[in-house]
Amino acid sequence: MPRGDLFPDIAPYETGLLPLGGGHVMYWEQAGNPRGQPVLFLHGGPGAGAGAVHRRFFDPHHWRIVIFDQRGAGRSRPLGELRDNTTPHLVADIEVLRRFLGLEQWLLFGGSWGSTLALAYAQAHPERVTGCVLRGVFLGRQPEVEWFLFGLRRVFPDAWRDFAEHLPPAERGDLLASYLRRLCDPDPAVHLPAARAWSQYEGMCSTLLPSPDMVMSFAQDRSALGLARIEAHYFAHDLFLRPGGLLAGMDRLAHLPAEIVQGRYDMVCPPESAFDLAAAWPRARLTVVPDAGHSALEPGVRLALVAAVDRFRRWG
């Protein structure tokens, strides 16, 4: 997929591993301008991890780009660890990283689960946030989880059939519990095939048009295990969000500016949530990309995200 509308690929100028307690160790990196305006990239999943392409949404001459892998994801250790892995833990981890890097405030950039975590962090620490760029909004509500587990079969019956039929007929009565049990099995012969089936299902539903490269990237063993196991764990616990959910805390963010980018045909996180969020956020600007699905790498979504970040530049 051509990605000439993103900024050129760059290497980080600093990387590290930050102990978090409970055996968790966070991978983090910085790229771009060390004296630039700070921006924090929050990856999706939960459990998907970040990659080199995510640096490319930001002008490296202007932005101090901070990227990290959340607990159990990507290059953080241990991979797929569920102990002490909740939304409040992740919110606290972001504060640990901010203080470690000596930053006062930063712009938050997150898509899918990354939008959920951005909202949770911003509601907990609004004084540390200059604004938010959110994509493919996921509010962690039960109907959104049920849509992922069951509703997608209305649009992707073939992908859903493969997802459900990975399980024996006797285990299909509760897809989430059955998958979580298999994903947590210590035997790789059990948990790896389940992780691939879960992750390929999500990958197949993430773009407007079929993308074999996207599905292949989701199916890699390491990324699949972190994504599937942690995602199922969070789904089984209502995303570890407070009663009332994220919309109940929007008064804490009313003063902050936000850019919301949503693919019209996003099947993983349908547009209803983006519209609900925009309606609850006085300073939010909603951009609906008419010919896009869920992925941040859809052509129209890429363009809209780069433009949204650019509107947050501080000149002079």
Q: Which residues are catalytic?
A: 112, 266, 294
Q: Kindly report, residue by residue over 29-44, the tens digit of the pLDDT.
A: 999 999 999 999 999 9
Domains of the chain: 14-140+240-310 (3.40.50.1820), 143-238 (no CATH)
- pLDDT of 316 higher than 50: no
Contacts (Cβ under 8 Å, ≥6 apart) of 312: 37, 39, 107, 130, 131, 133, 257, 259
Q: Kindly report, residue by residue over 53-69, the tens digit of the pLDDT.
A: 999 999 999 999 999 99
Lowest mean pLDDT among 20-29, 129-138, 179-188, 216-225: 216-225
What is the pTM for the complete model shown?
0.97
Q: Kindly report, residue by residue over 250-259, the tens digit of the pLDDT.
A: 999 999 999 9
Q: Kindly report, residue by residue over 77-131, the tens digit of the pLDDT.
A: 999 999 999 999 999 999 999 999 999 999 999 999 999 999 999 999 999 999 9
Q: Is 166 exposed, middle or buried (0-12, 13-18, 19+ CB in 10 A)?
A: buried
Question: Residue 135's pLDDT is what?
Answer: 98
Name the pLDDT band for 3 (thresholds 50, 70, 90).
low
- pLDDT of 212 higher than 90: no
Report in angstroms the alpha-carbon separations of 178 from 158, 166, 191, 198, 228: 20, 10, 11, 12, 12
